[in-house]
Amino acid sequence: MKWLDEESIAISRRFDVRQRMQRAVHSRISGAIAVLAVALASYFGFHDSAVQYRTAVGEQRIVKLPDGSIVTLNTRSQIKVRLEKEQRIVELTDGEALFEVAHDVHRPFRVLAGATSVRAVGTQFDVNRAPSLTTVAVVQGVVEVTSTPLNRAGDANARNVQPPERVVAGEQAQVSAQGELLQHSLAEIDRIVAWRERRLIFRNERLAAIAAEFNRYNEKQLVIAGTATSDRLVSGVFDADNPSALIAFLERDPQLSIESRGKTIVIRGP
């Protein structure tokens, strides 16, 4: 049997104590990491589950958010809301909404609509997301509109983010679906007031766009046949819930023919 001297025994004991301390520290760190992971998962899991609001055909809805902001949803619209500790994010996935933002300098209010991002602190503005472009019109205050041009694959790249465009009350900015700033001009505020009263105002609008707007409000759908007919420009003020008023207006044009097929009305030109 081999005997260890006192020095070897002391070294062995110190080594054993060091190992036990390392195991204890490692165990505590692992436990802390596990607790932190659970906490983070719980936190981000809660905030990732955005609250959704939507409206059906012809429906309008006023939503008061927990922070005091008010969102008025137009017909056939949908938003996803995430109110976080450092920011408030609303994604407009479809349609149109008017935002009255409660003032909070510590939590900026952002609206995302495709390639368009709108930042506001305390203001009132309208965002209308159509398939081809998004229009941001400011009623009160100031917002910053940021666009992110998409690549050929349709993906956004953080390096492509454009400098913010400052839009003040009475102005509007239009951003294409591809993220390009198309126009920064005076806003037609009367249109925003009109849709909340279920009136539609058109000034030299393409007939295809007018039909699409009426289709958002009504079960009876308008179909425009032919490119030339779709591109015809029309002006007028109409009741959003009464497409027959538009039809009566179009019937005055001898170049147009209108055919009713159940819940569909087909409009053809020459």
- The class (CATH top level) of 51-190 is mainly beta
As a whole number, mean pLDDT of residues 62-74 equals 96
List the structure tokens of 209: 């766009």
The percentage of the chain sitting over the pLDDT mark of 70, rounded to a whole number, equals 78
CB distance 74 to 96 below 8 Å: yes
Q: Does the pLDDT at position 176 exceed 50?
A: yes
DSSP label at residue 3:
P
Q: Does the pLDDT at position 175 exceed 60?
A: yes
- The pLDDT assigned to 10 comes to 43
CA dist 17 and 36 (Å) reads 28
On the CB side of 188, CA atoms within 13 Å amount to: 10
Q: Does the pLDDT at position 183 exceed 70?
A: yes
As a whole number, mean pLDDT of residues 58-79 equals 97
Residue identified by tokens 């998004």 is: 134
DSSP label at residue 156:
B
CA dist 230 and 26 (Å) reads 71
Domain 198-268 has CATH 3.40.190.10: no
Mean pLDDT of the chain: 83
- Position with higher pLDDT, 4 vs 245: 245
Write the single-letter amino acid at 98.
Answer: L
- The pLDDT assigned to 4 comes to 41
Burial class (CB in 10 A: 0-12, 13-18, 19+), 107: middle
The percentage of the chain sitting over the pLDDT mark of 90, rounded to a whole number, equals 69
- The pLDDT assigned to 14 comes to 44
Ramachandran region, residue 38 (left: φ > 0; alpha: ψ -120 to 50; beta: rest): alpha
Domain boundaries, the chain: 1-49, 51-190, 198-268
- Position with higher pLDDT, 233 vs 46: 233
SS3 120: strand
The pLDDT tens digits of the residues spanning 83-118 come to 998 999 999 999 999 999 999 989 999 999 999 999
Phi, psi of 162 (to 5 degrees): -85, 155
As a whole number, mean pLDDT of residues 243-262 equals 94
Phi, psi of 261 (to 5 degrees): -130, 80
- pLDDT band, residue 245 (cuts 50/70/90): very high
The pLDDT tens digits of the residues spanning 188-233 come to 999 998 999 999 999 999 999 999 999 999 999 999 999 999 999 9
- The pLDDT assigned to 159 comes to 62
The pLDDT tens digits of the residues spanning 119-169 come to 997 899 999 999 999 999 999 999 999 988 766 555 555 566 778 999 999
**What stretches of the chain show up as alpha helix (H) in DSSP?**
6-48, 189-196, 207-217, 227-230, 243-250
Q: Does the pLDDT at position 31 exceed 50?
A: no
- The pLDDT assigned to 49 comes to 67
- The pLDDT assigned to 154 comes to 53
List the structure tokens of 257: 């023919």
CA dist 165 and 144 (Å) reads 5
